[in-house]
Structure 1
Amino acid sequence: MLTASEIERMFTRTDGSYVFARWGRPICPVVFGVQDETLVIMKSAIEAVCIASGHSTDELDPELGSNLMMFFFSDWEELRAVPDLDQMIPQLDSVVDRLVAAQANQYRAFRFDEQGAIQACFVFLRVDEALQQLGADSLALSQAVQAMFLWSQEAFQSRSPLAVLDNGTTVMRPEVAALLRAGYDRVMPVRADDASHALRLAARIEGAL
């Protein structure tokens, strides 16, 4: 299981600040740029991760309609042509410039409500060779996990949140699933900016064993 120090690193930003946030409302996903069979896989993965976390999904958010929007495309430049996207992503042109320069294949942007909980998440996936090598199930599950919290930029850089069983099935790593359950425990805050929060998460994980 994850230690408090390991959990702390998963929510520590590059500037050294600790920031945790989870969804404060049901997740209502919509996916653009994929075929119908992939759409079903994506939505099923989101539902499965929510169930495992103790959270929920819904068809429509009363304020936003869809609050988890996932876009699949082949070139970052395509984002500049998406109508009204600049209203969802501030300084869209400079964001696209940074992603092109970094040769990135994914980007997530979050919005938060007045309590600091996640209100919306926008996921952009440039399907390059690395992403093409992932099976649809693995890609869907990985993206679902990464949309559940405001993770640090380095949370999964050195190790995937997923594991492959002997029979070839892809699942969440047990320690990641335990962290999701702890973070979505009703007694835990929807947002935390103090690293002592990591100690509380570790205690809840240990208490559930």
Structure 2
Amino acid sequence: MSDPSEIEALFTRADGQFLFARWGRPIVPIVFGVEDSTISVFKGAIESVVALADHKMAEHDPELGANLMVFFLREWDELTDTPNLDRLIPDVAPLVERLKQAQANQYRSFRFDEEGGIKAAFVFIRMDDAMAQASADTIALSQIVQTILLWSDTAFQNASPLAVLQDDGPAVLKPDIAEVIRASYDPVLPVAATDPSHALRIFARMGQTQ
């Protein structure tokens, strides 16, 4: 990132609102709908990104039990058949219709604490043809990178936060995105911000960590 405006764009939503948030509590993940081997891959990716941010993980969240829930699905209709999911995701039925119409293969929903920090995230992954062609490592890293911060809803529409350095090689986190994550978790900075000047503060911390 050569300019603070690039960081500002990563947290400026389609409606023009600047909205930044990071996790305000240790992350406690749980993964549904896949084999144990894939769960291990996911937890490994989460551990690596949490370590990058110098944040923390835990075995139990006192309020929620698990606060990062990842669901793998074959079809979006499975959401409406999941017991008690409406307690986590309001208006599930209309959401399912929107996701089907958009032919989406992923969806993330966040919950926030009193300070505006992330206290929970729910990640839904529909295994369509595009997802099926990606490796478990790539899916896991992509999802946790997009969940470790509240990025703009347009942040990665045109460019993935990951890069593949060689054919058939593993995907890796782009260095500039890694720097944004690391700087965003500097303890000097607040867990949430709505003023675009926060991008300047992140940029300044990037300079100190390079």
The bucket for the TM-score relative to the shorter chain is over 0.9
* Secondary structure at 1:124 match in 2: strand
Q: Does structure 2 retain, via aligned residues, the 8 Å contact 1:27–1:67?
A: yes
Deviation at 1:206, TM superposition (A): 1.6
User: Identity over aligned residues, as a percent?
Assistant: 55
Q: Does structure 1 retain, via aligned residues, the 8 Å contact 2:80–2:92?
A: yes
Q: Does structure 1 retain, via aligned residues, the 8 Å contact 2:138–2:170?
A: no
Matched with 2:147 is 147
Matched with 2:61 is 61
Q: Give 1:89-104 correspondences, 5 Å limit.
A: 89-104=89-104
Runs of at least 5 residues in structure 2 that lack an aligned partner in the other structure = none
Give the whole-Å Cα distance in 1 for the aligned partners of 2:165 and 2:13: 31
Deviations 1:99-132 (A, max 9, x none): 1111100000000011110000000001101111
Matched with 1:185 is 186
Q: Give 1:73-84 correspondences, 5 Å limit.
A: 73-84=73-84
TM-score where L is the length of structure 1: 0.97
Matched with 2:49 is 49
* Secondary structure at 1:50 match in 2: helix
Give the whole-Å Cα distance in 2 for the aligned partners of 1:27 and 1:37: 20
Q: Is 2:114 the partner of 1:107? A: no
Pair 1:10–1:52, CA change in 2 (3 A): same
Q: Answer with 154-163 or 71-80: which moved more.
A: 154-163
Q: Is 2:198 the partner of 1:174? A: no
Over aligned residue pairs, what C-alpha RMSD do you find? 1.1
Q: Does structure 2 retain, via aligned residues, the 8 Å contact 1:2–1:175?
A: no
* Secondary structure at 1:111 match in 2: strand
Give the whole-Å Cα distance in 2 for the aligned partners of 1:3 and 1:137: 31
Matched with 2:196 is 195
**Aligned structure 1 segments of 4 or more residues deviating by more than 3 angstroms:** none
Matched with 2:86 is 86
Q: Does structure 2 retain, via aligned residues, the 8 Å contact 1:31–1:70?
A: yes
Alignment-mate amino acid for residue 176 of structure 1: I
* Secondary structure at 1:150 match in 2: coil
Alignment-mate amino acid for residue 144 of structure 2: A
Deviation at 1:141, TM superposition (A): 0.4
Matched with 1:33 is 33
* Secondary structure at 1:30 match in 2: strand
